[in-house]
Structure 1
Amino acid sequence: MSELSAVIETRGLTKRYRGGQLAVDRLDLAVPRGSVFGFLGPNGSGKTTTIRMLMGLIEPTSGSARVLGEPMPRAARRVLPRVGALIEGPALYGFLSGRDNLVRFDAADPDADPRTRSARVAAALERVGLTAAAGKRARAYSLGMKQRLGLAAALLQPRELLVLDEPTNGLDPQGMREIRSLVRELAADGTTVFLSSHLLDEIEQVCSHAAVMAQGRLLVQGTVAALASSARGRLAVTTPDTTDAVRVLKEHGVTDLVVADDRVTGDPPVPDGPDAEPLDLADLNAALVAAQVRVRAFGTERASLEDAFVALTGEGFDVG
């Protein structure tokens, strides 16, 4: 991917802390312009360390990073005014109201026109649903409200890139839906959104592209659709004859069989060798019928990003 089409690009990006802990290991990342890019991994996988390097908050041990086509952290003064960021939760003045916090943040921006400040602050508050609570002191805000206020600060000016580290942390389900809707709106307006999360459903619902991190290393990146399709879907059979169905499916190579009420699920058989023909699912259905298993529904379920993650790592995952 060229620098023009990649909003974020890293080459061998590595961070080793004192004491030898390797937080990020030779990361090669490419975030396409105009995408909603999900940066996915369990807590401790290196996501926040990566974001801090991209934003010039910490220096990499080795490797390089380019943001908006410019080298970071060297070009931070040129790059950061074009980037909105919410990293590790917002740093707020607890004694000030939500509105006054935004006024402070806006006043710290040398490019912000003071004559239109109040209008910008009002628009940012409305966009994250905090207009009614704008006069309340930030120390009285819930965790979710503080998260919204931090997002409002990132949206005071139009941004080419929005970097969000766990943006729905602490939000109730309704707040999560609102933030996800806001991310979609921003992307529709042409903003590239880089969104880190440990919630698989969050990535699947709002992201066009994703990368999966584990223990500091990049496992895979690509479109969300491609990542999900890389995992095989589960076979699902609905039948009142679950015991006989399990026996027949096992005989035909279906593995990891699970029975729940009148439903049997399992992993379709893997062909033996590169030249072997995959089992035709119609033949599997016919075998069930021949064994007098009453089949009420039969098919494969669409693979999810969770299936892809488990296939990649062999680990479970917090699906929120």
Structure 2
Amino acid sequence: MEQRSTEEDDAAVETRGLTKRYRGGQLAVDALDLSVPRGSVFGFLGPNGSGKTTTIRMLMGLIEPTSGRARLLGEPMPRAARSVLPRVGALIEGPALYPFLTGRDNLLRYDAADPTADPRTRTARVAAALDRVGLAAAAGKRARAYSLGMKQRLGLAAALLQPRELLVLDEPTNGLDPQGMREIRSLVRELAEEGTTVFLSSHLLDEIEQVCTHAAVMAQGRLIAQGTVAELAAGSRGRLAITTPDPVDAVRVLKEHGVTDLVILDERVSGELPVPGPGSSPADAPLELADLNAALVRAGVRVRAFGAERASLEDAFVALTGEGFDVAG
């Protein structure tokens, strides 16, 4: 009998060595060890072709892994799909809708296809789901007349017809205007507060940073970092930023003290603070910001503002992957 660890039981999503190799030898996902804590809002990031969508398909039992294993809500996938998937809501690669049916009738069809759904409360359940995603007023419109953002909302409503322990969302704000994006972020927070674990794939790093508690970063099919959003951002150095009417003199002093990647923009100077490498001695400890400020003043540099900017998740992503943040792969 397979032994399960406490960590696996506490994880809403857990993979060990999950691998997918397609015919022709393409390795899409390479030995993925992922752990999504129950109750978290988990952001899943990666550049184009990093294996995110393939991973989600394996988690949901849509494709078989080449090797390794995956668990949803403590149960093995795809073996336990029939018992697990009714507890999981999903919106993957856009919703599949009947264009000639209204939004309401689409949801009624979805609900009727769920063997666990009570037909006596179907109408009320559909109305509540439409209201929750802001589509109550458009419920009588045919789906073919819906904008991309409205279709995305309708797909999310379908995922919310029943209470879910886990919600898997692939680019849930795709096609939404800024107001719609704010509403969906607010909805995700509400769901998390109600105890639903949300697994969210997005190419919008700002969205992940605003709404997620945890995140993972993939590149070239491999997991390269995972943890809380705060931990991932803290792993990237914030830049030093100085405002001074003497930017050229400031750059000279900062260079002498090991500050690199210096950029001058009008009266603003920014740069990367030196970080000691492995095996460094205590003498190589990072320079105190107060000492650096004092050095600038001693050199006659007039300092109007001085400090280290907080590192963002975008900084961490670029540092980890060496790529920008067009990560819809």
| TM bracket (short chain) | over 0.9
Query: 1:79 maps to which residue?
Result: 84
The one-letter code matched in structure 2 to 1:101 is N
Mean alpha-carbon deviation: is it higher for 304-313 or for 21-30? 304-313
CA distance in 1, matches of 2:321, 2:56: 22
1:239 aligns with 2:230: no
In structure 2, the partner of 1:156 is 161
Q: Match of 1:315?
A: 323
State the superposition RMSD in angstroms: 1.3
Matching residue of 2:3? none
Q: What's the CA shift string for 1:53-79, capped at 9, x where partnerless?
A: 000000001100011111100100000
In the TM superposition, residue 250 of structure 1 has moved relative to its aligned partner by 1.2
Matched residues, number: 320
Output the amino acid matched with 1:297. A
What SS does structure 2 have at the residue aligned with 1:29? strand
**Counterpart residue number, 1:200:** 205
- Is the 2:59–2:77 Cα contact (8 Å) retained in structure 1? yes
1:147-226 matches, within 5 Å, as 147-226=152-231
TM-superposed deviation, 1:198: 1.6
The TM-score, its normalising length taken from structure 1, stands at: 0.97
Query: Which of residues 8, 12, 21 is equivalent to 1:16?
Result: 21
CA distance in 2, matches of 1:105, 1:114: 12
On the 8 A contact 2:51/2:221 being kept in 1, the answer is yes
AA paired with 1:106?
A: D
Q: Per the alignment, do residues 212 and 319 of structure 1 end up closer, same or farther by CA in structure 2, a change over 3 Å counting?
A: closer
- 1:138-157 deviation digits (Å, cap 9, x = unpaired): 01111111000000000000
1:166-218, Cα deviation, whole Å (9 max, x unpaired): 11111111111111110000000000000011211111000000000111110
Is the Cα contact below 8 Å between 2:243 and 2:268 reproduced in 1? Answer: yes
Counterpart contact for 2:47–2:323, Cα < 8 Å:
no
Alignment partners' CA distance in 1, 2:137 and 2:49: 36
DSSP 3-state at the match of 1:243 = helix
CA distance in 1, matches of 2:317, 2:54: 21
For 1:251 and 1:319, locate their aligned partners in 2 and report how far apart those are by CA, in whole Å: 38
Query: In 2, distance between residues paired with 1:271 and 1:110?
Result: 60
CA contact (8 A) 2:236 2:316 kept: yes
Q: Which runs of 5+ in 2 are unaligned?
A: 1-5
Please give the secondary structure, in 2, of the residue aligned with 1:315: coil
Q: C-alpha displacement at 1:271, in angstroms? A: 3.0
Q: Quick one: which of 280, 298, 303 aligns to 1:274?
A: 280
Distance 1:319 1:297, change over 3 A: farther
Aligned to 2:301: 293
- Unpaired runs of 5+ residues, structure 1, are none
Report sequence identity in percent: 85
